[in-house]
Structure 1
Amino acid sequence: MPHFTFTSPDLTTFCRLDELGLEATGQYLTLKQAVIECRVVEPDRWCGSCGAEGVPRDTVVRRLAHEPFGHRPTVLMVRVRRYRCPDCSRVWRQDTSKAAQRRAKISRRGLRWALTGIVVDHLTISRVAAGLGVSWNAANDAVLAEGRRVLIDDPHRFDDVTAIGVDEHVWRHTRKGDKFVTVVIDLTPIREKTGPARLLDMVEGRSKQVFKSWLANRPQEWRNKVEVVAMDGFTGFKTAASEELPDAVPVMDPFHVVRLVGDGLDRCRQRVQLATTGHRGRAGDPLYRARRTLHTGADLLTDKQQTRLDAVFAAEEHLEVEATWGIYQRIVAAYRHPDKKKGKEMMQAVIDAVTTGVPTALVEIRRLGRTLKQRAADVLAFFDRPGTSNGPTEAINGRLEHLRGSALGFRNLANYIARSLLESGGFRPVLHPGL
């Protein structure tokens, strides 16, 4: 156990008021809040117009919400002295800009606490407002304004981006208005193994034109640096990227390829289930009981799962399901192969197998073959650029789902975009000592 050197209690240091240019002169505690009386350390008694020494006139009080200690809001009651110039009659007050912005209701330390709570601890605005002892609107306006200043409006936020991911996201579940947005993710940290992916921007709507317009609004120098665009199977994103980023390589990531094949496997299972039993899957039906086992990698199957699959495939009427399952397993095996060159050869063999000579009865495989034939170059591009996946994009979408749920939904898209950027834009308040 380390040996601490204790000093006398100092309220100024404990509450970190010295960072705000303040000094504690008194305290008043109640069950609902803690009030700390402060004074400004710098006298600031010289006239800014003529340089003469001012004469003290009176004192005004500025109340600031401060970072809470425990569950009790803390209020700073700052006594600010006003001066009058005897020569030019100018009146001014001590400078408190180090403690808080002009006309702000929250101290800079309080803002840092609020941003840390929003970004790191994933608190709601309601919880932050309660901790600061201010109204919801005051907390929301202050947090969003500071977030825009330090992150959203930062001109260097788009610097050094070489790989991006694009996907759609549902920002509200209502019948009125467009509920979809297009999210653009910076995958460069994942690709270079320097950190997590981050949200670059969010645009209303989901279409080729939406993504194309967003790319067109970026400087040409920025677009020239983008080398890879990871996306799902939506051709609109691919066309927009090809037109605005002609030198970038589109990559259809493993997440969406495996999901595409998995959806085909489910449709095949459901079709065969209905054809052989005359009804949808029920608890006692072999195909329905094996629905999750069918999506398990062959190298991860337990003895019980393998026995269940053997029983399903033993029935001749389940031959189409077995064939589709085989294609699914070959694609999963290609992505899991440690040698990317060998994995690419395995994937090419699968694409060749599903695009020619497929029996008419294998409806789902024929449909998959048409898609893979059209996007073959994009699917195979992943193996030449390992680490370029839209998986982090889906992970950020999941974080945004949690954000929307904790806020019980959003009605204003601008607020949702701002909160999303703070949540997933790579912003860390603890790394910004200027707050």
Structure 2
Amino acid sequence: MWLVVWRSGWHTVWSAVEPELKQRADDPDRVGATFGVGFDETVMNSATRRRRCRYITAAVDTATGQVIDVFDGRDANDLHKWVSAQPRGWRQNIRVVCCDPHEGYRKAIRALIAQGLLPAGTRLATDPFHIVRLANQAITRARQRTQQQTTGHRGRKGDPLYGIRKLLLMAAERLDPRGWQRLHQALKAGDPCDEVLECWQAKEQTRSIFKTTNPQTAVQRLDDTIAYCSDPDAPPELQALAGTLNRWHTETITSVATATTNARTEAANAKIKDIKRKARGYTNIGNYRLRILVATGHKPHQNTPTTRIRTHKTPLKRE
């Protein structure tokens, strides 16, 4: 008896499934009315000596987490081109656009609203996670700078500030009594000018902005944080943070007022990275886009039902 093994190359298999994938991706009923859209970029190809880093941007429904589409680039022109190519009826339903504190995205959204390609009442919101992340980065940079000034070297095991590098980034309400004790002792020993302490306090003030659902309260807390960071005697890291908070003031308050975040957009980006990791990378943006839309471009109620696993039952013993 002869056993015949057929070996097919990737191009042969892909040519067979590509028409079906394109049909599903281009289905007009795949994406319904969208009221909130989130944009976030991810790396498609890392930089090498012969090419620059290549980015792709995912457009995600902020309410459902459905990946609407993926397009090449992350600049203002790339986003403007993609939105302009979408059906007018779909664009007119958008009410909120959420993105990271990326000037390219904001510039494109403002231009689209001014040109009438998006409704005049469309509001732009920034992601709370990334705003708080900027405050965490200010702590880290102030800690590293203070470490160099006081010890003359990078953080090492046994250095006071290096030992609390994770405690400084932890939410205040999550610290237990032992954590508070370690924090106070390390700051007292390794922060002679209290600059790291000031950055930590600014971080907690930044977090408090998103702990309320009242826009007026959020405005007051944001203004107080900007004033605190803008003090002439404040560390340079806080002054840089104040500039960013001031530039994104309106978008930050919109995030609180509309309860809009990029959480589902970030979750979709994690799935996109998993797709690239399983395939060991992609070089063709068209193939990558089809694979992403088939895997993550469905609505929540279109999930494939999971197979029920039969549990092992112990047979009855005969008496």
Specify which structure has the bigger relative contact order, considering alpha-carbon pairs within 8 angstroms and separated by 6 or more residues.
2
Aligned to 2:142: 268
| Structure 1 vs Structure 2 CA RMSD | 2.6
- Kindly, what percent of the aligned residue pairs are identical? 28
Q: 8 Å contact 2:42–2:56 — kept in the other structure?
A: yes
1:8-407 counterparts in 2 under 5 A?
Answer: 135-150=9-24, 152-175=25-48, 176-189=51-64, 197-244=65-112, 245=118, 246-315=120-189, 316-317=191-192, 319-337=194-212, 342-355=217-230, 358-386=231-259, 388-407=260-279
Partners of 2:37 and 2:85 in 1: CA distance: 15
When the two structures are superposed, what TM-score results if normalisation uses the length of structure 1?
Answer: 0.62
Aligned to 2:315: none
The answer for unaligned runs of 5 or more in structure 1 is 1-28, 34-129, 190-196
Residue identity in the other structure for 1:329: E
Offset at 1:421? 1.3
1:408-423 counterparts in 2 under 5 A?
Answer: 408-423=280-295
Offset at 1:135? 4.8
Partners of 2:2 and 2:215 in 1: CA distance: 65
Partners of 1:362 and 1:177 in 2: CA distance: 35
Q: 8 Å contact 1:348–1:380 — kept in the other structure?
A: no
Q: 8 Å contact 2:95–2:122 — kept in the other structure?
A: yes
Q: 8 Å contact 2:41–2:55 — kept in the other structure?
A: yes
Offset at 1:344? 4.9
CA change 1:429–1:368 in 2 (3 A) is: closer
The answer for unaligned runs of 5 or more in structure 2 is 113-117, 306-319
CA change 1:32–1:347 in 2 (3 A) is: farther
Higher strand share: 1
Partners of 1:154 and 1:354 in 2: CA distance: 50
CA change 1:169–1:311 in 2 (3 A) is: same
Partners of 1:421 and 1:408 in 2: CA distance: 18
Q: 8 Å contact 1:354–1:369 — kept in the other structure?
A: yes
* Matched residues, number: 294
Task: Give deviations 1:401-423, integer Å, cap 9, x for gaps.
Answer: 11111111112221111111122
Aligned to 1:117: none
3-state secondary structure, aligned to 1:203 = strand
Task: Give deviations 1:121-151, integer Å, cap 9, x for gaps.
Answer: xxxxxxxxx9xx865434333333222212x
3-state secondary structure, aligned to 2:194 = helix
When the two structures are superposed, what TM-score results if normalisation uses the length of structure 2?
Answer: 0.84
